[in-house]
Amino acid sequence: TAPGEEAQIDFGTGAPYLDSEGKKRRTHVLRVVLSHSRKAYSEVVTRQTTECFITAIENSFHAFGGVPRTIVVDNLKAAVIKADWFDPELNPKLLDFCRHYNTTVLPTKPYTPRHKGKVERGVAYVQDNALKGRVFESVVKQNEYLANWERTVADTRIHGTLKCQVGKLFESVERGVLQPLPRERFPFYHEACRVVSRDGHIEVAKSFYSVPPEYVTWEVWSRWDSRMVRVFNKKWEQIAVHARVAPGKYSTLGVHIASEKVSGV
């Protein structure tokens, strides 16, 4: 694999941590491996959600100082909605993330682990070398430990094919050919399907936002963050955009009021 061309991504079971009551809690460790140099990034999360998945990948790009041209991911629920040999249905938020970082996501083919071998060996390496038999006081402490382990252990091992240290190979050959990071991090949003009520509004986080009157009783797709709400039709055309309002409040745009109501009929 050419330098800067590909990163492979997978999850495995991380080490447990102790919660506030002293009970052991399960974790998942994400492993991102640059296919040329084998330089890697590991991060522990408590859930396999799309947001956790994307944030960890984003953190890996910033740790590497750049972006590979493609990322290969396992058929993980957070990434792939439906695994298919020729036409995988990828999570829309992951596709938006890849557009933001100018990279392409390629899911592995179902039931063919040979399509993604480097990272799976990398996950086992983390589990057996870094985390085996350990219990951490928090997720933060486990991630601090992993970051140090990557620098002092994983980076110093000898690359099996190119016969040089992983960290030195990354610095001398691969770091400089990664794509540049965008100026800003990926803007996370929530999204959900909504049915437009008869008064022409949809409910988002206990607030109400208008859409064009021709969509009354239709299903639409809403995306929102801390500042804005955007609404799309089934063709993914944006049909409304609103500033967020407080819970219980309505945001009604004049262009969304049906003409007969405006005329008083």
pLDDT tens track for 127-151: 999 999 999 999 999 999 999 999 9
Q: Domains of the chain, with CATH numbers? A: 6-177 (3.30.420.10), 190-262 (2.40.50)
Going residue by residue through the chain (265 aa), what tens digit of pLDDT does each one get? 899 999 998 888 999 999 889 999 999 999 999 999 999 999 999 988 888 889 999 999 999 999 999 999 865 665 555 544 445 566 778 888 999 999 998 876 554 544 444 544 678 899 999 999 999 999 999 999 999 999 999 999 987 777 889 999 999 999 999 999 999 999 888 888 999 999 999 999 999 999 999 999 999 999 998 889 999 998 889 999 999 999 999 999 998 986 545 444 3
List, as one string, the DSSP characters of the chain.
--TTSEEEEEEEE---EE-TTS-EE--EEEEEEETTT--EEEEEES---HHHHHHHHHHHHHHHTSB-SEEEE-S-TTTEEE--SS--EE-HHHHHHHHHTT-EEEEPPTT-GGGGHHHHHHHHHIIIIIITT--BS-HHHHHHHHHHHHHHTGGGSBPTTT-SBHHHHIIIIIGGGSBPPPSS-----EEEEEEPPTTSEEEETTEEEE--GGGTT-EEEEEE-SSEEEEE-TT--EEEEEE---TT-EE--GGGS-HHHHTT-
First to last CA, the chain: 68
| Measured distance CA(66)–CA(3) in Å, rounded | 12
